[in-house]
A and B are shown apart, each in its own frame.
Chain A
Amino acid sequence: MRTTRWVERAALPAGFLATLATLLVVFYYPVGTVLSESVREAGRLTLDPLFAVLTDPFYTGVAHHLFVDPLGVPAGVLDWIAAGFPPVALGRFGFTAYQAALSTVASVLLGLPGAYILARYEFRGRRTLRSLTIVPFVLPSIMVAVGFLAMFGRTGLLNDLLGVVGLGPVELTFTLQLIVLAHAFYNAPLVTRLVATAWESVDRRQVETARAMGASRLGAFRDVVLPALLPALLTASLLTFVFTFMSFPIVLALGGLKLATVEVWIYARVQALDLSEAATLATIETVLSLALTYLYLRYEARQRSASGAGQHLPRKPLTIGWDTLRSPVRLAITGYGIIVAVVFIGPLLSLLIESVTTPDGTFTTAYYEFLLAQQASTAAGTTRPLPAIINSLVYGAGTLLLAVPMGVVVAVVATRGGRGSRLAEALLTAPLAVSGIVVGLGLLQTFVFGTVLFGYRITIAGPVAIVFAHAAAAYPFVTRNVAPALGGLDPRFRDAARSLGASRLRALIEIELPLVATAVLAGAAFAFAISIGEFDSTVLLAEGVDSYTMPVALERYVGNRSLGPNLGPATAMGTVLLFITSLSFVAIDRLGGRWEP
């Protein structure tokens, strides 16, 4: 009895320590190795590699003057102004920031009307539409990229349709516009979701008070609603910028090396086996994204208390019979709806259509037959579909085994308050700020190549490293689902259980976790979906081994031209992946999953 008590009391702290240790091993140690690599040369500390990158115009563009000749910068700026702002070289970092800024603007433009409609109008399917805004988070980005190629590519649906009416073809592949549009596909729903939530939390009584005190409709909007929306908009914009700054598969597939961002370039360096330059680039990128994430967190923490319970603003009906056609706002909403349909449904639909049509528009099963032929092939180095599917599912299951306990433990600590909860918060956001490429590179350089820890040489297999990377990326989703549910639980359930004789651990297992079971399951579904779709670290860790996953196989098929210059095999594989991720989404939605970053 006494020992059980002792074990039960030690279990939670031990679980938290185990989680910390796991993260230390699978995340912080590898990432730290990458970072320290960039300040070491032949075993001694040096800033030379960092300087080599920062002073290279190829990477930093016009900003390299800052590091080469800082004193000359003011004069240079004046010259530039005097010359009438001629275009400047951006370098890889500048271009990365530039495309992220464009993507952020595009996401806000595409997402903001959606927030307005979801918050202010009532219509059939509003709730469904709202829950659909989490879909992008579970869609593998390489699959979305293929979808965009299937729609806008040279042999894509758009050109097929243009060909029917005797126009085109238009060439959008490898353009910045297509990358920005694909980024908007991912991040506009985030803008919509965050701003709509803020809009819904505006208390109608505040607006009514303002109106009663003489404010016009517009005045009340400016004085009451807008101050509530701006923080959410800024939060969403910052997050979008961070995400698109680190975006990898979209840029890789839609831009290639011509439009390479830092992330893609790091990947290219790794493939060229120039690991030290890759590490240096990764360090600079991580410092930048950490700074941005810090900014985001500081800002988010300030606004969190702003939301209050109250009556939300009443929703207007979206359709008002035939009068709908005479309402300019409603006509504009219809136009917006068409754009949304094209941007969001188009690529996925194109993926399906292109997987069964030839470039000249006739029905074909050739691509699926190609997948079967690949499966049957005995040639070495063939990317076979079935192992990819099995690997994905196995890694997904492994990720669940690691990420769910970790996520739950961190959620318990985070909701308990005190010093532990701040630590837990910090732990949660680190994976957000470090790109998958950096994690993959770190794991590659440490455990996969073999590392010496405490005098023991440790080498782990690629598949295990992949599961580690997936777990590090996925567990925050478990926590972000479980923590609010635990926090919202009446603490007196736990108190009642404890006064009846249950230890803290028993109360957690017997009372609290069963009551938040749906949140745990939703978090698990999220974690699974993240694992299934993870590309950034997997593509590095699966290099050269048979541990490729569906997204990695998909990327390999994109480059496969064995069936002519078309996307056929990739779209077929993408359709399989879409089917499996759709199942994950249905599971998440059924379980009421949430992702409010």
Chain B
Amino acid sequence: MRTRTAVVPVSSVTLRDISVAFDGVPALADVSLSVEEGEFFTLVGPSGCGKTTTLRTIAGFTSPDTGAVSIGGEDVVGLPPEDRNVGIVFQNYALFPHMNVRENVAYGLRYREPPGEVSTEQRVAELLDIVDMAGMGDRDPEELSGGQQQRIALARALAPGPDVLLLDEPLSALDARLRERLRVVIRDLQQDLGITTIYVTHDQAEALAISDRVAVIADGCVEQVGPPEAIYREPATRFVAEFVGDNNLLEGAVVSADPPRVGLDPASDGTFGQTIPVDGVSGVGREVTVSIRPESVSIADGDAGQSVDAAGSITLQATVSTAEFMGDIYRVHCEWQGRELLAKTDADEPPSGTVVLSFDREDVTLLEEP
């Protein structure tokens, strides 16, 4: 399966200030993205956020109202899809039901020369081999399982040697276990071929698992672009912090810039539930939001009161409302000052009653937006 095929051209994709509206309703607003050659780049966001529209704009199915799209440095705005050398795989695979597997994979070769001076038959055999479907050429698509159909769709998209591979929620129709297995297949294949790949998904875990870089999209705007680790650990906006993984978001206000302190959970009388150190804050009185990942919050029985120690370790006094057993851990929903905080623990027994939640100042992330 890991045979490297003949030269596959790699290409970068750039979107500059793309805006798209459908019947006057904006779908994308000034989206700019730059995908590097050979990169695995993922667009993630909730349904209706514009990620598929972005993909369709790159493929040429949607023409942007404003902005520029370039593939491999060439401006492609105005070029119909058939004149852009991209391969696309859809969620439902869209295998042509009136053609068998071989004819499906060979379809693009009617219009485009396969890379590396090979015949259509050789190219089809090569691709079927790559996706581990050798010998299945005579089957009809309907005879294949969902996972097999997905592999054929991938082979079909790759057969003409596209500059860019576009994947539109390719795994969403599959069950969870198969999805996890196939995403590894896709990632390995992409690494072997070195093809620039843009992947669309609504599943943030999938995005983190598979990508070189991730763009989080919401309401037609790019919220944050970065490697998965950065997206997870340093969410730039409140939306990213909430959308990617579990998170605790706390509103507060800057009470002092030096030392940097944020008062959490402001009350109407100007008091705070707790004041904690947050690195990098400025502008006393400014309203801010901070986030703390549940896995950074440790939970212990007891009644130790609230404090911030010299090393910057913060403890909060809370009560457990419910604990969900997840198999490997408990997700513990706690109540602190009338709001919910989430913690995770791998204890054998679920915590209950009054507990102490503690976390370090390094685990507190300041979000850009209030």
Contact = CB atoms under 8 A, between A and B. Distances in A.
Interface of A: 5, 9, 490, 492-493, 495-504, 506, 511, 514-515
A125 to B, nearest CB: 30
Given A493-B94, A495-B59, A495-B88, A500 B80 contact: no
B82 A498 contact: yes
28 contacts: A5-B83, A9-B80, A490-B92, A490-B94, A493-B94, A493-B96, A495-B61, A495-B88, A495-B90, A496-B96, A497-B107, A498-B60, A499-B81, A499-B84, A499-B86, A500-B87, A500-B108, A501-B82, A501-B108, A501-B110, A501-B112, A501-B160, A502-B82, A502-B107, A503-B80, A503-B82, A511-B96, A515-B98
Nearest to A503: B82
A114 B160 CA distance: 56
B244 to A, nearest CB: 28
Given A501-B111, A502-B111, A515-B97, A496 B88 contact: yes
Nearest to A501: B111
B213 interface: no
Given A515-B97, A515-B98, A498 B92 contact: no
Interface string B110-122: 1110000000000
Contacts of A501: 82, 108, 110-112, 160
Given A501-B82, A503-B82, A495 B111 contact: no
A578 to B, nearest CB: 36
A9 B82 CA distance: 11
A529 to B, nearest CB: 27
Interface in B32-83: 59-61, 80-83
Tell me whether chain A's interface is mostly helix, strand or loop, or mixed. helix
Nearest to A492: B94
A248 B233 CA distance: 79
B90 A496 contact: yes
Q: How large is the interface on B (under 10, 10 to 19, 20 to 34, 35 or more residues)?
A: 20 to 34
Given A492-B94, A495-B88, A500-B156, 18 more contacts: A5-B83, A493-B94, A495-B61, A496-B96, A497-B96, A498-B60, A499-B82, A499-B88, A500-B108, A500-B160, A501-B111, A501-B112, A502-B82, A502-B111, A504-B80, A506-B111, A511-B96, A515-B97
B114 to A, nearest CB: 12
B102 to A, nearest CB: 14
A498 B80 contact: yes
Given A500-B107, A500-B156, A502-B111, A495 B82 contact: no
Nearest to B156: A500
A515 B142 CA distance: 14
Contacts of A497: 96, 107
Contacts of B97: 515
B275 to A, nearest CB: 53
Contacts of A493: 94, 96
A500 B94 contact: no
Nearest to B111: A501
Contacts of B88: 495-496, 499
Contacts of B111: 500-502, 506
Which of B81, B96, B112 has the most A CB atoms < 10 Å from its CB? B81
Most chain-B CB neighbours within 10 Å: which of A9, A492, A500, A501?
A500
Residue among B82, B94, B156 with max Cβ neighbours from chain A (10 Å): B82
Given A500-B111, A502-B111, A495 B81 contact: yes
Contacts of B157: 499-500
Nearest to B91: A492
A499 B87 contact: yes
A502 B166 CA distance: 17
A492 B87 CA distance: 13
A499 B59 contact: yes
List the 10 shortest-distance A-B pairs measured between CB atoms, nearest first: A501-B111, A500-B108, A492-B94, A498-B81, A496-B94, A499-B88, A492-B90, A514-B98, A501-B112, A501-B82
